[in-house]
A and B are shown apart, each in its own frame.
Chain A
Amino acid sequence: MNNDQVSSGTWFFIGVTICLASLQYKLGTLSSPGSGFLPFLSGLAIGFFSIVGFIHATIRKNRGEVWASFLKAVRWEKALIVLISLFAYGLLLELIGFFLCTLLFIGFLLRVVVPQRWLLVTGGSLLITVASYIVFEVLLKARMPKGFLGF
């Protein structure tokens, strides 16, 4: 299977799932569409276009288009580290507060993704954290969580 066959196949299942999920709300009638009407229609459209896509991709496969790995020649683990750190930030933010969480987040990224010198890691993360605290918390009055440290 080539890339578009895989992606259109995935979309087909997404479309079917949306259609089934929207059935729990009333579809209504054409003169009085219900809450499930548009979600159902959009699920139907996703399913339809995914079939069109699958046919299109199959024609291309028959002409020689094969699966092209999108993880080849890239350092995908770095992208994964970024994503994990983003989720970790979300999980820890309300627990340990904006200041500490940001300090750890910036320091981690600076040190791990493209390793920088410790001086830059500590100095940079502290500078960015203090600056963002002043800009967002003090000046713009964004109510960021304080955590157990109180700031």
Chain B
Amino acid sequence: MDFFNSAIMGFQLAFQPINFMFCFIGVLIGTLVGVLPGLGPVAAMSLLLPVTFNIPPVSAIIVLSGIYYGAMYGGSTTSILVNIPGEAASVVTCLDGYQMARQGRAGPALGIAAFGSFIAGTLSIVGLMFMGPFLAAGALRFGPPEYFTIMILGMTVLTFLSSGPMWKALLMAAFGLFLSTIGMDNVSGIARLSFNIEELIDGIGLVPVVMGLFGISEVMLNVESSMERSIFETKIKNILPNLKDWKASLGPIIRGTILGFFLGILPGAGAIISSFASYAVEKKISKHPEKFGTGVIEGVAGPESANNAATGGAFIPLLSLGIPSNAVTALLLGALIIHGIQPGPLLIKEHPDIFWGTVASMYLGNILLLILNLPLIGLWVKVLKVPYPVLFPLILLFCLIGAYSLNNSITGVIIMNIFGLIGYFFRKFRYEAAPLVLALVLGPMMENSLRQSLLMSGGSPFIFLNRPISSVILIAAFLLLAFPLIPWFSQKRPAFGE
């Protein structure tokens, strides 16, 4: 099937009423969780994952992807109006977006955030359409050693980019790897560390762990601190940016798109890093860098474009190599596996409907988001006014229902609660959960490819260095691990991560 036929098939799938509906639901929920501080796309996707068990795989991936890129759109609203980022990727938007709102320019700030997100989101999907199949074709030559080293690189990049000391991120990755070994060993058939609990034989389960670490712990932290937030009372007018705004924003949007897309491909926290990188670039090349932070539109346009472009980029390693680059795509990978689809280079060939249907739905979703974000901005502001003391029981209830309905068992609820407590302490002691989640998802694949590689080499670990691709990847991973030992890098890295 050639490129254009595949693309047409994708659009036919995306426009099917059921998929259109799920795309709409996905972006709507995504915008909602983006708008609401305290509920991120990871928690929302894990909540909805059990619900998608009963729908076709294409629709499931469409709705879950919609939540992901929808949240990136919605995150800017709270940054601009409340000075609280709805999403980590929108943190940097607070700097100039909120200042614009204080100067009575909330409308143009929200408008350029939506338009920039739309342009970047759409262009990144074009990139995904062209690069995905190309990369997948190349990856067909990969064997177990290459896969193992790519996964090692993915985890190393994520730990490198995590905030705080690198040993904490590596420790989290090691713990995630351990958690992934709980349950049935596919080779020997032995149930490992399952304590004779039937539900643990299939493994500890990604969804309750993620809901606990991200959802429950977030609520626990929010309820123990002040739950009051004030919305900057301003009349939102002139939501369509004027010619001067466009002139100032076009460059940042294009630069943010390119930067975000390529940073998004790299395993790690793509959307967050790319928004910060875009802000830094814009400030660096600006003729008036001193005005950044006082309410310049470039400070909103660049980062908001970058974080949306990064979502498209993040789909490339997921759909073409079967390797997630962050916690959200790790969940999408989990969803594919649950639906009986083996992610990897053969995915595009064997399940073209999944790849092209998802890509086409993302075009559609971006248009829907533009419609949702501009005329309905008043509605989102009203949602923001729902007091958190009323909202949090609802979030907890969704988590409980999601955890229970995974296996219709209390075990999921207990696991989620335990990881809620663990996540609470992680945050208190400043441990990032993202490397843990990535390792938990990659663990079984890593174990398989490690065993196969060692079997191939007759037990020689040098197989990873003897093959050109895997050796280059391994050296890159090693360099990333070694960089923090160099004083200059160790000083720069935390600033980059945070």
Contact = CB atoms under 8 A, between A and B. Distances in A.
A142 B405 contact: yes
B479 interface: no
A110 B389 contact: yes
B397 A142 contact: no
Given A90-B413, A114-B389, A50 B397 contact: no
B193 A21 contact: yes
B459 A87 contact: no
B224 interface: yes
B223 A128 contact: no
A31 B454 contact: yes
Interface in B403-420: 404-405, 408, 410, 413-414, 417, 420
Contacts of B167: 8, 49, 52-53, 56
Chain B CB count within 10 A is highest, among A8, A77, A82, A91, for A82
A90 to B, nearest CB: 4
A79 B221 contact: yes
Contacts of A140: 51, 54
A99 to B, nearest CB: 12
Given A38-B450, A78-B223, A90 B393 contact: no
B364 to A, nearest CB: 23
B188 A35 contact: yes
Contacts of A11: 171
Contact of A35 (B192, B405, B413, B420): B192
Nearest to A75: B224
Given A18-B178, A38-B450, A90-B414, A32 B400 contact: no
Interface stretch (B2-10, B128-136, B424-432): B424-432
A42 B170 CA distance: 11
Interface string B78-103: 00000000000000000000000000
Contacts of A3: 429-430
Interface of B: 50-51, 54, 165, 167-168, 170-171, 174-175, 177-178, 181, 185, 187-188, 190, 192-193, 216, 219-221, 223-225, 227, 389-390, 392-394, 396-397, 400-401, 404-405, 408, 410, 413-414, 417, 420-421, 424, 428-431, 443, 446-447, 450-451, 454-455, 457-461
Given A7-B431, A30-B459, A89-B413, 4 more contacts: A31-B458, A42-B175, A46-B178, A102-B397
